[in-house]
Structure 1
Amino acid sequence: MKSLVKKTCYFIFLLLIMSTYVVSAHSGRTDANGGHWDRKAGTYHYHNGGSSSSVKPKTPQNNSNSPAANESTNKINELSSERDRLKNDNIKFQTETTRLKQNNDSLSMEINTLKESIKSLESTIEELKIKNTELEDKLSEYEKREEAFDSSESREMELKTALKNTKSQRNMSIGFSILPLMGLLGTLYKLFKNKSI
């Protein structure tokens, strides 16, 4: 694309130089009447207010068949064709430039939309990070509670086991202490029975 632009600029510059050369006034070469023949137009004209005279200037010989004239004509035709081609290329270039500007504007709008979406997503991500931190804190708290609960359950089991052991030991000691008392009561009963008889 850049090379097309460079070539276009180069040929436009070349055409401008060539057109100023062709259009600019020449440095003289007028005949005794103050004029000369314009070979391209095939007419005779005067410069610097030259006067018409009754003497008709001599018509120059037609050198259109000379190699130099043919080469000049060919060169002019080539430059004219090149100028036309460059004009067409310039029109295509301008059309393509306009299309690219429109595409660029469209892409810029899409980029801005995407940037806004990214900002929104970044905000959402930050909110989710905060919520995630809160949930991790809650989870850690629940894990501590669960450990404390498990610890209290095992402590409760230990206490229940200790209570059972204590009850059974108490029952055993009550049983052992009641037996002698029962024996003593039985002996006393027998004694009272024997006395009353």
Structure 2
Amino acid sequence: MKKLLDWLKGSTQADAVAEWERRGRPVPPPHVVKQRVLRTYAERYRLPIFVETGTYRGDMVEAMKPLFHRIYSIELSDVLFAEAQRRFRLDTHVELIHGDSGKELGRVMERIHQPALFWLDGHYSAGETARGEKDTPIFEELDQILRAPDLGHVIVIDDARCLGTDPAYPTLPALREYVLSKRPHARMVIEVDSVRITPPEL
């Protein structure tokens, strides 16, 4: 039964990607495309730790579970946090953290001593999501990561289309200036609706 379910899931995901490609790759991309982006970076840089801001329903944590030795995910909403706790109660390598990612991420950083993949998606988007002090705490999140020792982390920021178009988001030039002021040799590109910040190529 599990093999059948896995096959059906894979077939559905492949159909979603094919339809997205057929439509000209509009943004935002399907969730499975985001999963593939993160998987690529995890494998390319051999990253053992995954850190997510904005757990939401837990679908990204679920997709990343087989790839990492340790997963941290931060969620502000009381309801969504409780749902995620139930969903991942048996996954001992998954740690869920309840609170504002702009603050809680600093506590997570104190425990990270290996290169990690950061998926920054902790913004307010109405509906069931919770609203913190800022709708998009991207600078606060980046500050917590970039002030820590440089271990060769990879950072992927979701919803790049909002940069400079949504008042809650910084402009791309402001974001680039900030990142390079902290990591002058970092590489920063935008692809498929996400900002990717990687260590300098060796």
Same fold (TM over 0.5): no
Structure with the largest fraction of helix: 1
Structure possessing the higher radius of gyration over alpha carbons: 1
Structure with the largest fraction of strand: 2
Give the number of the structure with larger relative contact order, counting CA–CA contacts within 8 Å between residues 6 or more apart. 2
